[in-house]
A = this chain, B = another copy of it.
């Protein structure tokens, strides 16, 4: 698709300096842009590229000073970063707004589909499923019996949603994510074997949640595993049975939360964090990457780090001293020798 400077300027409500008929076909970084490229300058660090970029159009802030004549057409806006974000959203909406049912797909006769839905080929939709308006289900998705999916939700190729799970509106789930697999529940038997505990709960995902590729969220043993409104989950995360993640919390890749733990609102968990089961993490907590959380965090809004985690400042101090640990031991050795010497000398008075 091609757009003129004039068309773009109208979308972002900007003013043009230069040729309004110049054409762009893609959005690129200012330092890499070629002659059909649209780019933007928002961060002063990149200002020098304004004079060297190969882009056809650059969106800049109204107050950006341009010191020498340059080749690209400029579009001036109040906030260049906001403008480009808006443009990208429009572009993605336009490009990916598929509708219709591709064949072959498997849709149980009892399924209720909303308006303007897209169902990709090789997707399977089970008995009693309800799908809202404008939902896009890409190819090779599995939706188990009795699942409900709110309007505007997107399931990328290969997502698996087990039976009975409930997904809200405008949820986005990336390829390979598994929603509603059995929780890891096995009762140890006297003979050393394990007996599976049937997992009959579900997963409840509220509105505006985004879930990354190959992330796994187990169904509850009973009741719900719950992902509250606005939560953002990165790739390869593990959420165990009966976990609850509070509103607008963010979890980075490869982090794992054990069973029945409750994460508060507006919590930020770094990547590769591990959290034990049956604890609570207070609202607004921030946990550094690779930390291990082994007990509840009760005071809200604090930063934590390390395994087992302690408050961030303490952890940083400990880590600094840790680098000197072999040195501390040498100093201790020396002190012991000195004191032995002092005692001996004293004995000789």
Per-residue 0/1 for A154-185: is the Cβ within 8 Å of any B Cβ (1 yes, 0 no)? Answer: 00111010100000000010111010011010
Q: Quick check: is A18 within 8 A (CB to CB) of the other chain?
A: no
Q: Are A92 and B200 in contact (CB under 8 A)?
A: yes
- Candidates B140, B248, B289, B338; contact of A274 at CB < 8 Å: B289
- Candidates B140, B184, B331; contact of A234 at CB < 8 Å: B184
Q: Quick check: is A44 within 8 A (CB to CB) of the other chain?
A: no
Q: Which residues of B contact A271 (CB under 8 A)?
A: 238, 256, 258, 274
A90 CB, min distance to chain B CBs, angstroms: 9
Q: Quick check: is A49 within 8 A (CB to CB) of the other chain?
A: no
Q: Are B160 and A160 in contact (CB under 8 A)?
A: no
Interface 9-residue window, one of A59-67, A70-78, A188-196, A296-304: A188-196
Q: Which residue of the partner chain B has the closest CB to A139?
A: B124
Q: Are B196 and A210 in contact (CB under 8 A)?
A: yes
A80 CB, min distance to chain B CBs, angstroms: 14
- Candidates B158, B292, B345; contact of A346 at CB < 8 Å: B345
Q: Quick check: is A295 within 8 A (CB to CB) of the other chain?
A: no
Q: Given A236-B216, A253-B238, is A318 in contact with B328 using a C-beta cutoff of 8 Å? A: no
Q: Which residues of B contact A27 (CB under 8 A)?
A: 200, 222
Q: Quick check: is A11 within 8 A (CB to CB) of the other chain?
A: no
Q: Given A88-B198, A175-B142, A181-B213, is A250 in contact with B339 using a C-beta cutoff of 8 Å? A: no
Q: Quick check: is A112 within 8 A (CB to CB) of the other chain?
A: no
Q: Which residues of B contact A172 (CB under 8 A)?
A: 182, 196
Task: Name which of A27, A181, A266 has the most chain B CB atoms within 10 A of its CB.
Answer: A181
A102-161 interface with B by 8 A CB criterion: 102, 104, 106, 120-122, 124, 138-140, 142, 144, 156-158, 160
Q: Which residues of B contact A272 (CB under 8 A)?
A: 256, 272, 274, 292
Q: Are A253 and B256 in contact (CB under 8 A)?
A: yes
Q: Which residue of the partner chain B has the closest CB to A194?
A: B232
- Candidates B142, B235, B290, B346; contact of A138 at CB < 8 Å: B142
Q: Quick check: is A10 within 8 A (CB to CB) of the other chain?
A: no
Q: Are B318 and A308 in contact (CB under 8 A)?
A: no
Q: Quick check: is A100 within 8 A (CB to CB) of the other chain?
A: no
Q: Are B120 and A122 in contact (CB under 8 A)?
A: no
A275 CB, min distance to chain B CBs, angstroms: 9
A101 to B175, CA, bound (A): 24
A152 to B321, CA, bound (A): 53
Q: Which residues of B contact A208 (CB under 8 A)?
A: 193
A240 to B122, CA, bound (A): 28
Q: Are A176 and B346 in contact (CB under 8 A)?
A: no
A230 to B194, CA, bound (A): 7
A93 CB, min distance to chain B CBs, angstroms: 9
A320-344 interface with B by 8 A CB criterion: 320-326, 328-329, 331-332, 335-336, 338-339, 342-343
A175 to B158, CA, bound (A): 10
Q: Quick check: is A186 within 8 A (CB to CB) of the other chain?
A: yes
11 A-B residue pairs with CB within 8 Å: A29-B223, A88-B200, A140-B140, A175-B181, A178-B235, A214-B216, A254-B254, A310-B323, A332-B335, A339-B342, A342-B342
User: Nearest 9 CB-CB pairs, A to B?
Assistant: A88-B198, A142-B157, A181-B213, A160-B175, A178-B213, A106-B121, A124-B139, A216-B235, A238-B253
